[in-house]
Amino acid sequence: MKKVLVFAAAMMAVVMSARAEEKKSPVTFQYEAGAEVVSSYIWRGMYNGGLSFQPTASVGFDAVDDDIQFRVGVWGSIGASDWQFKKGTPDAEGNRYYTYFVPETDFMASLRLWGATLGVTHYYYYGGMPFFSGLTDEGGSQTEVQIGYDLGQTLENVNLYFNWYTMVAGNDGYVAQDKNGNDYDKRAFSSYIEIGYRLDMIYDMTLELQIGMTPWKSYYTDYEGGFAVNNIYARFGKTWDIDDICEIELFASGSINTYDIRKDNLFVHAAGDNKIGGYQKLNGTIGVGFWF
């Protein structure tokens, strides 16, 4: 993984140097802020919670006719674990599941060079855990790096993109055995490969299609199995521009996680924890976003 990152950084530096000789433009300061309210918090094919408020903000700069972009930002989520709010509702076996709030804050930084992206994100989950967690701290924070490329930044009307995310620190490990049969904690380097396409339609409507895969035993398969397709995703949205003050988007999305999919986990008729962590395989959400 280190060799891959070093090679990618070297290639981007070569491209940046060559393109910078072709054209120059002033550096401009950029910012963005907004929020979404979603009926369910769905992330990479996994149900992470119910009705949620998810604000975000970022600052940075653009340069060389916007071909170079740098951003630092923060994203958050606060919501109930089940949008039906069935607090205390017992399941068929008499277990009670409670709604609760699961706040999360993600800290992000990214550098985009003519469609290629290098990024890092630190996921922090509130609940008594330290900001930087250990390898097997249950519920602890995680840090991942990203390498990606968006063809839409270099080829007109080709809105195809690719991203590879890998967790490199924090809670991302499992118990393995060495050749002598002794247990030890092993880092998984959980990875998620994302291929997507954005289609711009009439009346400011958009359709985004995406497939997400994990290449080996990872967080996305509960550290079991190997390669898996864990997110087949579609999102449809309609945007309104309000007098250059803000944009409002109404959207709906759906996803299916094919890893270990069975009849009994396609949709779980229960509240709270019984859906979380990828157990429920068919998920969807509706929402509204505001962007300034």
Which of 60, 85, 66 is closest to 26 using CA atoms? 66
Answer for the pair 137, 144: CB distance below 8 angstroms, yes or no. no
Query: Among 9-23, 58-72, 170-184, which stretch is predicted with the lowest mean pLDDT?
Result: 9-23
What is the per-residue DSSP string for 83-135? TT--TTEE-TTS-EE---B--EEEEEEEEEETTEEEEEEEEEE-SS--SS--T
In whole angstroms, give the CA distance from residue 167 to residue 191. Answer: 6
Question: What is the pLDDT averaged over residues 273-289?
Answer: 86
**Cα 208 off chain centre by:** 15
In a domain, 213, yes or no: yes
pLDDT number for residue 2:
46
Residue whose C-alpha is closest to residue 65's, from 31, 27, 30, 18:
27
Q: Report the mean per-residue pLDDT for the chain.
A: 85
Q: Is the pLDDT of residue 192 over 90?
A: yes
Contact between 190 and 214 under an 8 Å Cβ cutoff? The reply is yes
Could you report the per-residue pLDDT of 119-176, keeping only the tens digit for each? Answer: 999 999 876 678 898 898 877 899 999 999 999 877 888 899 999 999 999 999 998 9
Q: Is the pTM of this model over 0.75?
A: yes
pLDDT tens-digit map of 38-68: 999 999 999 888 889 999 999 999 997 778 9
Least confident residue range of 70-74, 155-159, 281-285: 155-159
pLDDT at position 5 is: 45
Going by their DSSP bridges, the two strands 68-79 and 52-63 should be labelled as antiparallel
pLDDT of 278 strictly over 80: no
Q: What is the CATH number of the domain that holds 238?
A: 2.40.160
Tokens of 120: 């890092």
- Please state, in angstroms and rounded to a whole number, the distance separating the CA atoms of residues 230 and 256: 7
Residue 133, in any domain of the structure: yes
Inside any domain, residue 24: no
- Domain annotation covers residue 91: yes
Task: Please state, in angstroms and rounded to a whole number, the distance separating the CA atoms of residues 93 and 119.
Answer: 45
Domain that residue 122 falls in: 55-291
Please check whether residue 46 lies inside any domain of the structure.
Answer: no
Q: Contact, 64 vs 25, CB < 8 A?
A: yes
H-assigned helices in the chain? 2-22
Cα 5 from chain centroid?
A: 20
- Provide the domain count of the chain: 1
- Could you tell me if residue 227 is inside a domain? yes
DSSP 8-state code for residue 80: B
User: Is residue 129 included in any domain, yes or no?
Assistant: yes
pLDDT in tens, 74-119: 999 988 765 444 555 555 555 555 555 568 999 999 999 999 999 9
